[in-house]
Amino acid sequence: MTEKIPHRNHSPYGWWIASYIERPVWDDDPNPSPNSRTDAWENTIILKAPDRDAAYEKVLQLAQSSSTFQDEKGKRTGHWVVDGLTSLLPIYGELEDGTEILWEEYKNRTVRKIRSWVREKHELEVFDDTPAIGDSNEP
Identify the CA nearest to 21 among candidates 79, 86, 99: 86
Q: Where are the alpha helices (DSSP H) in the chain?
A: 52-64, 111-116
Q: How many helices, marked H, and strands, marked E, lie in the chain?
A: 2, 4
The model scores a pTM over 0.85: no
pLDDT tens per residue, range 12-64: 999 999 999 999 898 988 788 889 898 899 999 999 999 999 999 999 999 98
Q: Is the pLDDT confidence value at 65 over 80?
A: no
How buried is 4 (Cβ within 10 angstroms: 0-12 exposed, 13-18 middle, 19+ buried)? exposed
pLDDT tens per residue, range 76-129: 999 999 999 999 999 999 999 998 888 888 999 999 999 999 999 999 998 999
